[in-house]
């Protein structure tokens, strides 16, 4: 069955430090991969997506992610974290077949930023 | 502002009540979705509509009833809910079902 694993429930980093959030997926075909961010009380906002092509994907707010097929991973990175990046981050894999679309989400990683 | 608007933002209802959640998108998208976000659980896809036709129902109990009168509006009708149905209900839309989804801010539902 398809699944997405985000092994870290909560991460705390210092402002200005680098960040890497892990995501592993299980899916038999070529995946469509997404990272979303959710601020408290808000809906989800797309940070970046991977469909095909270059395995290093650039997103908004200075985030990037790298697709590694051999490791079934799609880790999110940012070289220098800002206090406004404190939020919850969700990795998702798109499952598409026929005329149906479905996003399978991980449980999320909550990011705290300390001054 | 993502272009997807959900009302109400908060809702408290008793187990015998009937209420409806509304979602509206002005993005010209063809696909709309309902997701449920519970504490400590992944987001769960509930329903998918593509060109106003329901294409997916992920084994959702019948006390949740979706309605999609046109491609811009999506409703979730609620009746005889249980306390465990308390959650954040998120609506999303996308141009096509393989395109990125744009989410609304959600309706925080509490069943008492």
- Establish how many alpha carbons lie within 13 A of residue B107's alpha carbon, considering only the half-sphere containing its beta carbon: 28
The whole-number pLDDT of residue A96 equals 72
Residue (of B45, B47, B99, B50) closest to B71 by Cα position: B50
Residue B105 has pLDDT above 70, yes or no: yes
Average pLDDT over residues B8-30: 94
Residue whose C-alpha is closest to residue B30's, from B100, B97, B91: B97
* Chain A residues with beta carbon closer than 8 angstroms to that of B94: 101
Using pLDDT thresholds of 50, 70 and 90, give the confidence band for residue A83: very high
Question: Residue A103 in 3-state DSSP?
Answer: strand
Is the predicted pLDDT of residue A87 greater than 60, yes or no? yes
- Residue B39: per-residue pLDDT: 84
Q: Does B93 touch chain A (CB under 8 A)?
A: no
What whole-number distance in Å separates Cα of residue B52 and Cα of residue B29? 11
Q: What's the mean pLDDT in B14-26?
A: 94
pLDDT reported for residue A30: 75
Whether pLDDT at B57 is above 60: yes
Is there a contact between B56 and B46 (Cβ–Cβ < 8 Å)?
no
Measured between beta carbons, the chain A residues lying within 8 angstroms of B56 are 100-102
**Cβ of A42 and B50 within 8 Å?**
no
pLDDT at B35 over 60: yes
pLDDT category at A101 given cuts 50, 70, 90 is low
Mutate to test the interface with A, among B33, B39, B101 (most CBs of A within 10 A): B101
Contacts of B18 (CB under 8 A, 6+ apart): B77, B78, B79
Taking alpha carbons only, the member of B55, B105, B103 closest to residue A34 is: B103
pLDDT band at residue A78, thresholds of 50, 70 and 90?
very high
Read off the pLDDT of each residue in A105-110 and give the average, rounded to a whole number.
94
Top-ranked range on mean pLDDT: pick from A84-88, B15-19, B95-99: A84-88
Torsion, Cα B97 B29 A51 A86, to 10 degrees, reads -110
Mean of all residue pLDDT scores within chain A: 91
Query: A54-58, B64-68, B98-102: which has the minimum mean pLDDT?
Result: B98-102
Q: Residue B71 burial by CB count (10 A; 0-12/13-18/19+): exposed, middle or buried? A: middle
pLDDT higher than 90, residue A71 = yes
CB contact under 8 A, B50 and A100: yes
Alpha-carbon distance of A62 to A81, in angstroms, equals: 9
Q: Which residue has the higher pLDDT, B1 or A1?
A: A1
Contact A105 B42 (CB under 8 A): yes
User: Over the stretch A31-46, which tens digit does the pLDDT of each residue have?
Assistant: 889 999 999 878 899 9
Cα(A79)–Cα(A90) distance, rounded to whole angstroms? 19
Extract the tokens encoding A13. 């980093």
DSSP, collapsed to helix, strand or coil, labels residue A60 as helix
């Amino acid at each position: 069955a398809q699944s997405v694993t985000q092994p870290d429930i909560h991460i705390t980093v210092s402002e200005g430090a680098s960040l890497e959030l892990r995501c592993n997926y299980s899916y038999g075909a070529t995946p469509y991969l997404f990272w979303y961010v959710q601020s408290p009380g808000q809906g989800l906002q797309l940070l970046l997506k991977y469909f095909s092509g270059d395995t290093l994907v650039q997103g908004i707010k200075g985030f990037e992610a790298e697709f590694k097929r051999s490791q079934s991973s799609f880790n999110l990175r940012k070289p220098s974290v800002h206090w406004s990046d404190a939020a919850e981050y969700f990795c998702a894999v798109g499952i598409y077949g026929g005329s149906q679309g479905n996003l399978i989400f991980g449980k999320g990683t909550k990011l705290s930023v300390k001054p | 502002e993502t272009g997807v608007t959900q009302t109400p933002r908060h809702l408290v209802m008793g187990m015998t009540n009937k209420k409806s959640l509304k979602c509206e998108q002005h993005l010209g998208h063809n696909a709309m979705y309902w997701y449920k976000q519970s504490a400590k659980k992944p987001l769960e896809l509930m329903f998918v509509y593509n060109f106003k036709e329901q294409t997916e129902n992920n084994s959702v109990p019948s006390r949740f009833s979706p309605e999609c009168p046109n491609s811009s509006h999506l409703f979730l009708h609620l009746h005889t809910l249980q306390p465990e149905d308390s959650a954040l209900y998120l609506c999303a839309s996308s141009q096509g079902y393989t395109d990125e989804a744009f989410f609304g801010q959600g309706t925080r539902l509490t069943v008492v």
